Structure formats: structure tokens, C-alpha cells
Structure 1
Amino acid sequence: MAVFLKANWEHIIMANYEIDKSILLPFLPKGVELDLHEGKAFISLVGFMFKKTRLFNVPIPFFGTFEEINLRFYVLRKDGNQMKRGVVFINETIPYKMVAWMANKLYKEHYTVVPTKHKIRTTATNQKIKFQWLVNKKWNSIYVESDTQSEAMKKNSLEKFIYEHYYGYTKIDEHKTEEYQLQHPSWNVHKINDYRIHCDFEAMYGESFSILNQTKPTAVFIAEGSSVKVNWKRTKLNFNSERS
């Protein structure tokens, strides 16, 4: 199967918020349902480094390394006897117009472009990581301090639920959905010692998510990351009105 995109995803911060299921339903692609952890729906503010980006195994000169900020929630699709656990992106933000245009054009994604920057400081025992993005002339940020040493995620933990969704689903319209697959190993995570989040969710993601401005994260995680592959093939799911 052809690989469309290959890159290293590093320092993957996830700030995870419990959210009312009704807020997510208008954004739910046809053919999937909300994936819940212990009966609760979650949405995650994500910051990470995109590095060594290659399209169809060709490096992208000058644009191969950048920060990405996204907001995503969790879904599943029953495909015969297989249960496919995936994510839906409300928005993905990067600093380069060319990369965003390509993702939106080829894959009908929801990339937007704003200025971004990062700071990463690592010692033998501690790491401090901060991602920032500019919205309405104000810098938003997500910051964590964590142990440098990492460990495997615990079985049935919220960490494992958040990180281990290996499909993506894009809402094309009310009856059409596209499904794609991601490939990466199970990631190690670091113990979080401190975090700070400054995000205007309403300005960034719309009025539907304004409640997150007054919501404290249930948990904040950071994973080491790894090389990630996104397959070129997308499964087009068509649920016309007569069959839905």
C-alpha cells in the first residue's frame, strides 16, 4: 500500500478534556460513533513537532519541519467483525500555506495557517516543551514539564485510549465520509510534573468549543513519538439518504 506521508512526530502533548457528547455530534462523520472511555467523551488539544516530512517518500525542502496544533475527538467504526478506532479533527494548524493547501486539496482536511513557534529544553532528568500559535494577535500556548525518562503506557489507561487510535475520519458532507489509516508503534510516555495552557478555544475553534475556556483538563500527557506513516489509500464511505 502506497504511503502518502511519512514524518517524525515528536514531543506529542495531549491536553484532554471531558466534553458533553452533544457538542461533538454535529461534527461526527456519517458511519462512525463516539468512542468513549468509561462512558465519557473526550476532546484533546494537541501540540507536537512535525519533522523530516516526506510526501511519497520525497522530502519537502524548506517545509519539512514545523509545529502542528490540533483539536481532535475520538470515534469508532464497526466494519464487519473489526472495530476501527479513530479520530476526527476539528482543525489542524500549521505555519506553512503550501503544506496546508496540499493537505486540504488532496485529502479535504481542515488545515489552517497561523504563525507558530516552539521551545524545547532537555536535560538528563527533565524536559520543558512549549508550543505557541498566534490567533487574533495573541499568542496561545501549551506547555509541559516532564521527566526525561519514559515508560510504556499502562493497559486500559486513559493515556492508552487517547494515543492509540489508528484511523482518521473526515466528514465530506452529511452523507459521505473518508477513512484513512495511520501507522506507528505504541508510544512511550513521560511523567508530567507541571503544565500550563493558554488557549482561546472560541477564537480558535468556534463558539461550539467556548466552554473549554472555562474547563480544566482531565489529564495532560506527553509521548515521545516516532516515525508515522499515513497511507495514500482512503476508503470512501457513502451513506445516501435512502440507506441512512
Structure 2
Amino acid sequence: MNIFLKANWENIIMVNYEIAPEILMPYLPKGVELDLFEGKAYISLVGFMFKKTKLFNVSIPKLGTFEEINLRFYVTRTESDLVKRGVVFINETIPYKIVAWIANKLYKEHYTVVPTKHSIVKDSINQKIKFEWLVQKKWNSIYVENRMSSHQMKKDSLEKFIYEHYYGYTKINEQTTEEYRLHHPSWKIHEVVDYEIACDFKAMYSNDFSVLNETKPTAVFIAEGSSVAIEWKRKKIYTNNERS
């Protein structure tokens, strides 16, 4: 297995919204279908820490630790008897131009670069974490207060649906999709006791997602995270045929 990227993902906050499937359809890559939970489509505003980042097992001096904010939704693809559950990113935001350039150049990802920052305050009982990013001279933010104790996700729960997608799908063009695989263990999650979301979805992600400005999250989760590895090899999926 040839690993392109390896890093620790920590304090992974998922702010989850029900969304009309027709909003997502223009962003749906060929060869995959929307993955629904109890018949509903979801989209997640995500904030987490990237730490100890390595490309092809080489550390990135001074650039290996940063915040990432992304917006993603959920898809599925069936090959014979194998069901692959994956994510599609609308946008991924980080603070470093060179890291974004590498991801966009090599894989045609959707990384953008804006100033970001975070704060973490914790004691033996609670943790307060805040991710912030600057868009059009205005700071957006995700804030969560959670218990420090953690537990396994329950089977068939919304949090398990949200967190446990182990493939990524990138829309290269109207005919071609790229598939890649992620590796990480099943994460433990913390109990969220308070949260506050200040995100201008229209300014950040276009008018297509402006409805989220007026939508209350269905649920907010935070996971401990772990080391994560992303494979180098990507499979190209074509409209009428497949080849690696």
C-alpha cells in the first residue's frame, strides 16, 4: 500500500444538516449515488486539527500542523458485492498555500486558502474548542464544548453514519470521477454539551448553500480522531466504462 499522506486528525467536529438532495445533485460525481440516513441526505461543516503531516512519509517543516475547515456530503458506490461509502468535498479550507497547491495540482481537489486559527481550553471534565476562518474580512467559527470522557459510537447511529465513510470521490469533470481510500480506526466520540456556529455559507460556499444560513443543525458531534493515512493510488471511474 503506497501512502500519499499521513497525519493525525484531532478534535474532529461535525456540524450536520439535513439538506434537499436536489441541492447536491450538481456536485455529485459520476458513478456514485447519494448515501442517505433513514431516507435523508446530510451535509456536514467540519473543523479539525491536522498534525504531524507527512507526504510520502516525509515531514513538512513548519507546515505540518494547521486547521482545516471543509464542507462535505455523503455518497455510496457498489462494486459487485462491495459497498463503498464515501464523501465528496464541496470545499476544503486551510491556511497554507503550498499545501493547497500540492493537493489541487496532484488530485484536482477543491482546496482554498484563508487565514485560520483555533483555541482549546480543557480541564479534567470539559473541553472548549473553537475553530475560526476569515472570509470577506469576517471571522466565521465553529465552537463546541464537550465532556472529556469518550465512548464508542453506537451501531446504526447518525454519528456512525457521519464518521464512517472510508472513501473519497472527486469530480474531475462531467464524465470522470476519481476514487481514493482512507484508513483510520473507528473513532470514539465525546458528549457535546454546547455549541455555536457562525458560518456564512453563501459567502464561503456560494449561493447554492445559502439555505444553510437559516438551517439549524440536526446534530453536532466531536470525535477524538487518530492517525489517518490516504492512499496514493486513485481509481478513475468513467461514465460508460472503468479503468484504473
Report if TM-score (shorter chain) is over 0.5: yes
* CA distance in 2: counterparts of 1:185 and 1:55, whole angstroms: 20
Report the counterpart of residue 26 of structure 1 in structure 2.
26
Task: Indicate the residue corresponding to 2:230 in structure 1.
Answer: 230
**1:14 has 2:7 as partner:** no
Please give the root-mean-square deviation of Cα atoms over the aligned residues, in Å. Answer: 0.8
The CA distance in 1 between the partners of 2:206 and 2:96, in whole Å, is 22
**Alignment-derived partner of residue 150 in structure 1:** 150
SS of 2:134 mapped into structure 1: strand
2:64 aligned with 1:61: no
Q: Secondary structure at the match of 1:37?
A: coil
Q: TM-score, normalised by structure 2?
A: 0.98
What does residue range 28-107 of structure 1 map to in structure 2 within 5 Å?
28-107=28-107
5+ residue gaps, structure 1: none
SS of the residue 1:6 aligns to: strand
Off by >4 Å, runs of 4+ in structure 1:
none
In 2: Cα distance, 1:13 partner to 1:189 partner: 10
Name the SS for the 1:217 alignment partner: coil
State the Cα distance separating 1:21 from its structure 2 match: 0.3
CA positional deviation for 1:238 = 1.3
Q: Could you say which residue in structure 2 is the equivalent of 1:131?
A: 131
**Structure 2 residue identity aligned to 1:164:** E
SS of alignment partner, residue 40 of structure 1 = coil
Give SS of 2:86's match: strand
Separation in 2 of the partners of 1:240 and 1:202? 35
> Which residue does the alignment assign to 1:111?
111
Q: Provide the residue aligned with 1:165 in structure 2.
A: 165
Letter in 1 for 2:27: F
**SS in structure 2 at match of 1:132:** strand
Partner in structure 2 of residue 208 of structure 1: 208
Amino acid across the alignment from 2:67: E
Gaps of 5+ in 2: none
Q: Does 1:188 align with 2:188?
A: yes
SS of aligned partner of 2:23: helix
Deviation at 1:240, TM superposition (A): 4.7
| Cα displacement (A) at 1:177 | 0.1
Give me the whole-angstrom Cα distance separating, in 2, the residues matched to 1:114 and 1:86. 26
Q: Distance in 2 between matches of 1:87 and 1:41?
A: 12
- Alpha-carbon distance, 1:73 to partner: 0.1
Q: For 1:112, what is the secondary structure of its paired residue?
A: strand
Aligned mates of 2:78, 2:84 — CA distance in 1: 6
TM-score of the two chains, using structure 1 as the length reference: 0.98
Give per-residue Cα distances to partners, 1:129-179, cap 9 Å, x unaligned: 000000000000000000000000000000000000000000001110000
What displacement does 1:80 show? 1.2
